[in-house]
Amino acid sequence: MSGIWERARASRTLRGRDSFGSRDITSNGDRSSRTVRLGRVQPQAPSNRTIYCNDREANLPVRYKGNSISTTKYNVLTFLPKGLFEQFRRVANLYFLMISILSTTPISPVHPITNVVPLSLVLLVSLIKEAFEDWKRFQNDKSINNAPVDVLQDQKWETIPWKKLQVGDLVRVKQDGFFPADLLFLASSNPDGVCYIETANLDGETNLKIRKALERTWDYFLPEKAAEFKGEIQCEQPNNSLYTFTGNLIIENQTLPLSPNQILLRGCSLRNTEYIVGTVLFTGHETKVMMNSMNVPSKRSTLERKLDKLILALFGCLFFMCLIGAIGSGVFINRKYYYLGLSGDVEDQFNPNNRFVVTILTMFTLITLYSTIIPISLYVSIEMIKFIQCTQFINKDLNMYHIESGTPALARTSNLNEELGQVEYIFSDKTGTLTRNMMEFFKCSIGGEIYGNGVTEIERGNLERKGLKLDGANGSATAIREKGFNFDDARLMRGAWRNETNPEFCKEFFRCLAICHTVLPEGEESLEKIVYQAASPDEAALVTAAKNFGFFFYRRTPTTVIVRESHVDKMGKIQDVAYEILNVLEFNSTRKRQSVVCRYPNGRLVLYCKGADTVIYERLAYGNEDIKRITREHLEQFGSAGLRTLCLAYRELSSELYEKWNEKFILAKSSLREREKKLDEVAELIEKELVLIGCTAIEDKLQEGVPSCIETLSRAGIKIWVLTGDKMETAINIAYACNLINNDMKQFFISSDTDAVREVEDKGDPVEISRFMRDLVKKDLERCLEEAQHFFHTVTGPKLALVIDGKCLMYALDPNLRVNLLKLSLNCASVVCCRVSPLQKAQVTSLVKKGARKITLSIGDGANDVSMIQAAHVGVGISGLEGMQAVMASDFAIAQFRFLTDLLLVHGRWSYLRLCKVITYFFYKNLTFTLTQFWFTFQTGFSGQRFYDDWFQSLYNVIFTALPVIIVGLFDKDVSASLSKQNPELYKEGIRNMFFKWRVVAVWAFFSFYQSLVFYYFTAAASHNGQNSSGKTFGLWDVSTMAFTCVVVTVNLRLLMACNSITKWHSLSISGSILAWFLFIFIYSAVMTPYDRQENVYFVIYVLMSTFYFYLTLLHIPVVALLGDFIYLGLQRWFAPYDYQIIQEIHRNDLEDNRSSALLEIGNHLTQNEARSYAIAQLPRETSKHTGFAFDSPGYESFFASQQGVFVPQKPWDVARRASMRQQPRTHRS
Amino acid sequence: MNSNGASSSATDGVRDSNPPKRNSKRPKYSKFTQQELPACKPILTPAIVITTFALIGIIFIPIGLASLSASERVVEIVDRYDLDCIPEQLRNDQLAFIQSSQTNKTCTRSVIVPRYMKSPVFIYYELDNFYQNHRRYVKSRSDKQLRSKASEQDTSTCAPESISSDGSPIVPCGLIAWSLFNDTYSFSFNNEVLMVNKKNIAWGSDKSHKFGRDVYPKNFQSGQLIGGATLNASIPLSEQEDLIVWMRTAALPTFRKLYGRIEEDLQPNQKITVVIENNYNTYSFGGKKKLVLSTTSWIGGKNDFLGVAYLTVGGLCLFLALVFILLYLFKPRTMGDPSYLSWNRNAAGYAD
């Protein structure tokens, strides 16, 4: 079942622009039709949907959609017309269609088959591919639609297929089953009416989520009882917002508010619950998951766009050739050639009385004759090559397979492979991409005292840069290390905190960690085996830390949190304490904090709060200024070490105060409109007068192999920009740790974090602020640019680095300043943009893409990177850890940042080389072939007589020269994968586009010109007189067959000359193609068919082969034709060798060039200690999302993005996005 | 890649001992998907370039010499007669001469045999500026009609010479047949007639398959305009070898076609008298007519082109081999010298 879903998702993503999300979806409640716009959360429909539960007749009048889904593009009837229509949207196909039509007229010198055969073969291949893909989708749909589900009918559970399900039905879903539609959760086999669901198919998160049914419905569980359930549900219209739901359930005149908590979405699966009962709300295409399927904007590679220009040039060439021929025909035609029978009534094309008409008609004649100059099979060949490159090479590359998460690379679009070989700028997200998003509790500050002796990798890197060397052995014997906890300080462990100066603070600190969270414990309730499911890895790390400090949170009920506390009252004592959780004020990006109101067993009421320093400090009670000051210092210290900080605070509550507040809270909670906003406002009332306990510091670990990968990429001439929502210090530190910036670089900072800015900001006049900022940014830019000018033209000088923050960037992206920004940043080796919103990420990307016309790649893992990924030429998503949004928007998905080396330097480079070779070769072979025809035209009185037999011409492209070029496109390899990575500089050839310049094309054109002359004139010149000892002479078809044989042989051999590596497939396909020609001509000229054929070539090949002329010419012409290329290649290699050729030469004596590659692997996981990898793989999977609990929260950016129409999915904790930017956090003040 | 292969097998080992479910997405190793197919990697080193050139030279020059000598052995006599066969007084109006049925078109010429010509001596006529490959001309025939009597009516492709004035089909129809060459030659030496054998001058496949045994000429040249030769209506087309030769249309506007054979050796300095019936009209389009007498060798008729081409290319290749050797000596480039790498080159350049 899960496999089916995987495929469902895959097929949706494969379909790209035709995703059904773009269809009109009729909403049924009001029967009006509206279009679901993609990439946006839909506006709520004004009207409601009313569902009568368990009553099919009552629902009948509304005609809800059925539950069957169809993701296919075609059906049996529409396949041919629609499929053909799609095909003829390609210019080349349309052109050939027109040529084919033209060739049915008498104007044409060629039989229609000449053009119809290749066209129909090309169409056939494309249509078969389409049909195959659609068939897979159909099968997929079918298996989903026919999946069984239990439905209540006549007080019994009846098993019916999913597609028969209707709105209002009561269904039963068993453990590990998928929900067949969007359900309202009524009852569960669990006693407290909860169930656990996995939403991996929706957002990729594998942590379990709790859903809780309304207490009123818990009883409708057994079929007899459930049959009595008659409720009416009023809810919103179907929409694509996964995390919101508003509605009411009306039972027996009682109105109960519904929340997302009672909704089970299609695509999720039931876990840890025997079974649940629910009623169907939305079905089929109206389910949220189906309405959410995303659209990837289709991208075309730069190379293909350049190819279009080449095709245009060919069209120009074609026109020119036709023009010459046509004028020639007008001049030539004359009654004096009486044997042409021109004296009587002559058709227009040959009528000497009207030479103009002759010219025009001959023009058309020649267009059909020379149509082979446009390589019709080029596009389909390229498509096949790219498709195989994607599915077989990229997706199956073991070097890009991540063992720990079991994720192979995934090419989601197959038309950008070669773009990977030309990337010059990489825009990278930080969190989750460069860093691991694996949070480890590392240090803390409690009551003004720092605990934790660890040294972060960043600090270590800093020290090493300063020349200090740290011992590898990290940590003392007391250090405890587990997932999420990497803390080393004996002062806090095993109850030792009781002896510290402020044990009360410590106690509150630990309790806050153990109580204030939304973590779910899973598995056995023991210290070792418990597994925490958390919405963010930070939370899990914090709860794990509490566990290690002796406050073991092990069970959560809907109302309580149970903590096993050690050493609290006295050393060694262990007791289970149940804290009653009264309210949870959840985290969201505007609040930047999370609070829990809990009641101790002794009745003490406490609010625990944790959150960003900025929001906590604003809400602190007066007093304890020392601790506040010291803690702030500690915060800065942690921040600059690259750690993520979080402030903890608490507040004692009196019961009167709480009761009063709670009434408001309940009111807000049951409101139907703007519930979240009201909840926030209520929370504001109680989260004040807090007492600061301290702060935590969590290490965000770098991804494996990131620094070496970045170094390799920069050697390859790729510039890496980090675009992050983090604050400047963190971003710079990460940049240091990643080798992006070092102290040898000339660094430029453009920051809004200055006193002057703050001063202006405090005045609060937006006009003044923007004016001031603009001036500041302008001045800064000019200053930097002036300084940088010195270094622009020296190579030995220091490299440049630019750090700019989001606020400044906003002004720097202004059209007036953009030029300076671009000038400066393009000359920098690395650029770090911090505090940027998703929209700015996209803007920076397009600035380079459009402004500098460089090829860009964006890589990111989160929803906030979606816009950037879509804006770049190539979007890469990090798969395996985070949610699916980035992957769904990306063109390629890899599990680790370091796999970029393989993706770019190996696959990208090869794809580029191969595609260039394929395109130029196609160009060459068609031009050569057509030119021979062109030369012949001159000697036929410009009549447009074809030189070749119809079938020769039609099969030339599709049989005799088709396969080898595809083989080359797949297998050609200049240097091995390991050498490509060892010599990243080779990649620069792609950036400079060395292999598809006009110069390269011109060289090919020159040689095809030369070769065509050789083919035509040599065969013709030698065929003048008697050809064997019987003195018989040749006719036209003998000569043309001879010439064609030479063309086929030479063109295939030329490909062999272009190969860098020759596998058996090369030899097989090339010799096969030549043999295919001979086989064809042997058969073709031996048979006589009564249909449609002048016996032109009857027996021609046998006649030819009875002469020495044939053998002498066949040996001679290919050698002469290829001599030019051979000299060129020899000289080129001698005097102007490409870099890859030198590398080839260096390693030419390597027996198997892979032998030596062990030491060349760059950050390759396969060379790692396998046992360790496996051990890590056995660890609970890193599943949760980066939320940025600290000030790094990128959440606020989603506001900008959605304002700009950039899709940012809602997170569960992000449902209440404010309508204003009032709460926009300030940058961290140091 | 070897290292990968080794390490992937290591992971396989782990998998086997305790297969974790998570690794199910692991791509299977194959040489194809990992792009590690064994391949030979030819590098165009100077040695290979020089060897190739030398090899081509060594192979081509003997072939060239052989074919040139074969071509040299062929004795060929070419006699252009189109102008000379018009009486002096009519030279100003050649067209009138050739189109008139009154004029005497017989013309006597003599050629001298330069060298011993071993029989058979092939007689060709050569036409110039005659576009047998013109589109209108090439397609004006009906292969079906030529092949079988049943398809007699099948003249749709033969325009404008498809039907006679009374509407019955012309056999053979079409422009090609209509414009059949109709000059005739007869040879004598010392008043002794040299027999011309006109059998077996067409390719066997044409005779046996393309022209029917039961197809007899009908309505041929019956129109107002006579394009060329007439055919004996009592001889089936498969025996009309002149027509068969003519209908194998030539590739170029200058072409030779076989007329017949003299099956007697001709001695040097023999003066052969040729009586030409100069009927065929090449005057209207300014074409030349030539009579060619030629022996053959294994290479066919006299054909210096192939031999010269082979010799030229062979010589050129030897020369190139020499040039490359000199290049190699005077401007050597060490194979695989890292300093030629562009990034090293640039750095060096700036260091200078």
Which residue did the predictor score with more confidence, A172 or A807?
A172
Q: Over 50: is that where the pLDDT of A1154 sits?
A: no
B341 neighbors A985 (Cβ within 8 angstroms): yes
Handedness of CA A911, A917, A920, A926 (dihedral sign): negative
ipTM, two decimals, is: 0.91
Over residues A757-779, mean pLDDT: 81
Of all residues in chain A, the percent with pLDDT exceeding 70 is: 83
A1137 at the B interface (CB within 8 A)?
yes
Measure CB to CB from residue B210 to each of A365, A796, A1095 and give the nearest one.
A1095
Q: What is the mean pLDDT of residues A1201-1228?
A: 31
Average pLDDT, chain A: 79
pLDDT at A464 (0 to 100): 64
Per-residue pLDDT at A228 exceeds 90: no
pLDDT for res A189: 84
- Average confidence (pLDDT) over A441-470: 74
Most confident of A557-571, A1192-1206, B48-62: B48-62
Within 8 A of B140 by CB-CB distance, chain A residues are: 341
CA distance A848 to A1097: 59
Q: How far apart are CA A268 and CA A198, in angstroms?
A: 6
Per-residue pLDDT of chain B (352 residues; tens, 9 = 90+): 333 333 333 333 333 334 344 456 788 888 888 888 888 888 888 888 999 999 999 999 999 999 999 999 999 999 999 888 888 888 888 888 888 878 888 889 999 999 999 888 999 999 999 999 998 898 888 888 888 888 888 888 887 888 888 888 888 888 999 999 989 999 998 888 999 999 889 888 888 888 888 888 988 888 777 888 888 888 998 889 999 999 989 989 999 999 999 998 999 998 999 999 988 988 888 889 999 999 988 888 888 888 999 999 999 999 999 999 998 888 887 777 888 888 877 654 443 3
Predicted pLDDT at A950 = 85
Contact yes or no for B63 and A1115 at CB 8 A: yes
| Residue A1089 pLDDT greater than 80, yes or no | no
Residue A29 confidence (pLDDT) above 90: no
The answer to whether residue A883 scores a pLDDT higher than 70 is: no
d(CA B226, CA A61): 89
Q: Report pLDDT for A201.
A: 64
- Listed by number, the residues of chain A in 928-947 with a beta carbon closer than 8 Å to a beta carbon of chain B are 936, 939-941, 943-945
pLDDT for residue B275: 93
The verdict on B26 touching A (C-beta cutoff 8 Å) is yes
- Annotated binding-site residues of A for Mg(2+) read 429, 431, 861, 865
Across the strands, what pairs with A158? A151
Nearest-angstrom CA–CA distance, A549 and A505 = 13
The pairs formed by B47-53 with CB atoms below 8 angstroms and a separation of 24 or more are B49/A1126, B49/A1130, B49/B324, B50/B321, B50/B324, B50/B325, B50/B328, B52/A1126, B53/B317, B53/B318, B53/B320, B53/B321, B53/B324
Q: Which residues of B, range 220-259, sit inside 8 Å of A by Cβ? A: 225, 227, 245, 248-258
| pLDDT tens per residue across span A593-642 | 888 899 999 889 999 998 888 788 888 888 888 888 888 888 877 776 66
Using alpha carbons, list the distances in angstroms from residue A288 to A271, A293, B265.
20, 9, 99
Please check the confidence at residue A889 and state whether its pLDDT lies above 80: no
pLDDT digit string (tens) for A96-146?
Answer: 888 888 888 887 878 887 788 888 888 888 888 888 878 877 888 888 888
Report DSSP letters for B271-293, one per residue: EEEEEEE-----TTTT--EEEEE
**Concatenated DSSP letters of B197-231:** E-SS-S-HHIIIIIS-TT---BSTT-SSS--S---
Distance CA A686, CA A663 (A): 12
Pairing outcome for strands A856-860 and A425-428:
parallel
* Of A715 and A881, the one with more pLDDT: A715
Beta strand segments in chain B, E = 39-40, 76-80, 106-112, 121-127, 184-189, 192-194, 196-197, 255-262, 271-277, 289-294
Q: Does B122 touch chain A (CB under 8 A)?
A: yes
Q: Chain-centre distance of CA A417, in angstroms?
A: 13
Q: A148-157, A312-321, A1151-1160 — which is least confidently predicted?
A: A1151-1160
A101-139: b (≥16 Cβ within 10 Å) or e:
ebbeeebbbbbbbbbbbbbbbbbebbbeebbebbeebbe
Residue A1071 has pLDDT above 70, yes or no: yes
Q: Give yes or no: A429 in active site.
A: yes
pLDDT value of residue A156: 84
A906 vs A882, more confident: A906
**Helix (H) / strand (E) containing A875:** strand A874-878
Q: What average pLDDT score do residues A150-163 get?
A: 87
pLDDT of residue A265: 87
**Which chain B residue's Cα is nearest to A346?**
B160
Q: Report the pLDDT averaged over residues A174-192.
A: 85
Q: Give the range among A317-321, A581-585, B100-104 with minimum mean pLDDT.
A: B100-104
Which one of A1034, A1108, A1158 has the shortest CB-CB distance to B298? A1108
Query: Considering only CB atoms, which chain A residues are within 8 Å of B350?
Result: 795-796
Structure-model confidence comparison of residues A1222 and A1112, the more confident one: A1112
Res. A37: pLDDT tops 50: no
The stretch A33-48 carries a mean pLDDT of: 42
Residue A30: what pLDDT? 36
Interface of A with B in 944-963 (CB under 8 A): 944-945
Give the separation between CA A204 and CA A1184, rounded to whole angstroms: 9
Q: Return the pLDDT at A1199.
A: 31
Q: What is the mean pLDDT of residues A921-940?
A: 94
Report yes or no: A976 at the B interface, CB cutoff 8 Å.
yes
Rg for chain A (alpha carbons), in Å?
Answer: 36
State mean pLDDT over A1046-1074. Answer: 93
Q: Which of A141, A182, A397, A429 is an active site residue?
A: A429
| B289-318 CB burial, b ≥16 within 10 A, e <16 | bbbbbbbbbebbbbbebbbebbbebbebbb
Q: From A414, A420, A520, A538, select the one nearest A484 (Cα to Cα).
A: A538
Q: Report CB contact under 8 Å: A1154, B133.
A: no
In the stretch 84-123 of chain A, residues with CB closer than 8 A to chain B read 109
Residues 1023-1082 of A with CB under 8 A from B: 1023-1036, 1038-1040, 1059-1066
Residues making up the binding site of A: 429-431, 539, 587, 610, 644, 724-726, 835, 841, 861, 864-865
- Band the pLDDT of A434: cuts 50, 70, 90: confident
In this prediction, residue A291 has a pLDDT band, given cuts at 50, 70 and 90, of confident
* Res. A1129 pLDDT band, cuts 50 70 90: very high
Inter-CA distances, A1040 with A949, A1014, B303, Å:
8, 13, 19
Indicate the SS3 state at residue A74: coil
Averaging pLDDT over each range in A402-406, A740-744, A1141-1145, which range is the top one? A1141-1145
pLDDT band at A1177 (very low <50, low <70, confident <90, very high): very low
CA distance A636 to chain B (A): 41
Least confident range from A23-37, A53-67, A276-290, B71-85: namely A23-37
Give the range among A409-418, A672-681, A707-716 with minimum mean pLDDT: A672-681
From the CB of residue B124, how many other CB atoms can be counted at a distance below 10 Å?
24
Q: What are the residues facing A248 on neighbouring strands?
A: A234, A257
What is the residue type of A65? K
**What is the predicted pLDDT for the residue at B113?**
92
Which among A1030, A1039, A1098 has CB closest to B251?
A1039
